[in-house]
């Protein structure tokens, strides 16, 4: 497991963690995708998998990223939710542009394009895009405030499943939560907790169980992904590319019908700006690493 120290490295991890936290708010996007695009995916997976073997090193890598995720998620939860409610198509188009514009380094890591790699890319793309067409569950409003033991066990399992978004690029935790019917209730709980609402104590209990499931799933899936990266690195990155392309398409599908000609024009402009910004940013990061 590689480790780079210094205040600059810590600050860089916080910023990258913030980008991962923001991605978790957007249905169809994945914090793992952002980690892969920003070049810290293998480092994070290795740090989680080695948490008990190299505790100090792992914590020095993971803590700044976790802090950034929390800050990015909390700071932009309300603005992004507002933008998604009022301007869904342009908002999603911007994030799709950011995701696709930063794929150059991942393409280099994928290496040679054999028939097996192309097939893997295609299957991953179709699998990820299919999430947009799954029916969305709509449970009763406020049901998370009245969970019994079985409900808390189910919530723990949902948290473990949602952790895929942090470890497996292209798998959107928010989309999984939408399909399972937990996205809106958990957003409501989180809002209530952050604003110290009347049900803040109940919100904390529910969020703690959900977070515990995420931590366990995060640890187990990180071990699995590190094993795959160790044995089949090029194949894994081909699959990651397919998952990111598929999740980008899947993010556009649910909001495409809400687009007027003006919104489509704004969406195209933001998509191109996002692509250009991400391309320039990844070029800057590449020159920084080589320098």
1, part of any domain? no
198, part of any domain? yes
3-state secondary structure of 131: helix
* Res 5: pLDDT: 57
* Res 199: pLDDT: 65
- Per-residue pLDDT tens digits of the chain, which is 291 residues long: 555 557 778 888 999 899 888 877 776 677 788 888 888 888 888 888 888 888 888 899 899 999 998 888 888 878 888 888 888 889 889 988 888 888 887 888 787 778 888 899 999 999 888 877 777 777 766 777 778 888 889 999 999 888 877 788 777 777 778 778 887 788 777 777 767 656 667 778 888 899 899 889 888 888 888 888 888 888 888 988 888 888 888 888 878 876 788 899 999 999 999 899 888 877 876 676 655
204, part of any domain? yes
135, part of any domain? yes
* Res 163: pLDDT: 83
* Res 9: pLDDT: 81
* Cα–Cα distance, 95 to 124 (Å, whole number): 20
User: In the structure encoding, which two tokens stand for residue 210, read together?
Assistant: 């959900």
Backbone angles phi, psi at 255, to 5 degrees: -105, -5
* Res 115: pLDDT: 84
2, part of any domain? no
* Res 265: pLDDT: 92
DSSP assignments along 156-194, one per residue: HHHHHHHTHHHHSTT--HHHHHHHHT-HHHHHHHHHHHH
Task: Write out the residue range of the structural domain in which residue 109 sits.
Answer: 7-290
Q: How many domains does the chain have?
A: 1
145, part of any domain? yes
52, part of any domain? yes
* Cα–Cα distance, 283 to 289 (Å, whole number): 10
Phi/psi-derived region of residue 157, left when phi > 0, alpha when psi is between -120 and 50, beta in every other case: alpha
Q: 164: number of CA atoms within 13 Å, CB side? A: 17
Rg (CA), the chain: 19
């Amino acid at each position: 497991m590689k480790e780079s120290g210094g205040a600059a490295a810590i600050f860089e991890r916080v910023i990258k963690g913030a980008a991962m936290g923001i991605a978790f708010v957007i249905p169809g996007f994945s914090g793992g995708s952002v980690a892969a695009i920003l070049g810290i995916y293998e480092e994070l997976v290795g740090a989680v998998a080695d948490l008990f073997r190299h505790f100090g090193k792992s914590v020095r890598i993971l803590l700044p990223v976790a802090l950034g995720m929390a800050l990015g998620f909390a700071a932009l939860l309300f603005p992004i939710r507002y933008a998604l409610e009022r301007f869904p198509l342009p908002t999603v188009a911007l994030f799709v542009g950011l995701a696709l514009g930063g794929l150059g380094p991942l393409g280099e890591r994928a290496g040679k394009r054999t028939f097996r790699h192309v097939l893997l890319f295609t299957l991953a793309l179709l699998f990820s895009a299919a999430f947009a067409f799954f029916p969305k569950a709509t449970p009763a409003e406020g049901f998370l405030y009245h969970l019994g033991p079985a409900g808390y066990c189910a919530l723990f399992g949902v948290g473990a499943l949602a952790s895929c978004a942090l470890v497996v690029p292209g798998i959107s935790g928010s989309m999984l939560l939408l399909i399972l019917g937990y996205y809106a209730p958990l957003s409501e709980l989180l809002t209530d907790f952050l604003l110290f609402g009347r049900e803040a104590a109940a919100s904390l209990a529910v969020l703690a169980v959900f977070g515990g499931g995420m931590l366990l799933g995060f640890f187990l899936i990180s071990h699995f992904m590190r094993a795959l990266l160790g044995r089949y690195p090029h194949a894994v990155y081909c699959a990651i590319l397919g998952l990111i392309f598929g999740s980008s398409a899947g993010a556009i599908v649910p909001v495409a019908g809400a687009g007027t000609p003006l919104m489509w024009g704004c969406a195209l402009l933001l998509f191109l700006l996002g692509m250009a910004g991400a391309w320039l940013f990844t070029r800057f990061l590449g020159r920084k690493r080589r320098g």
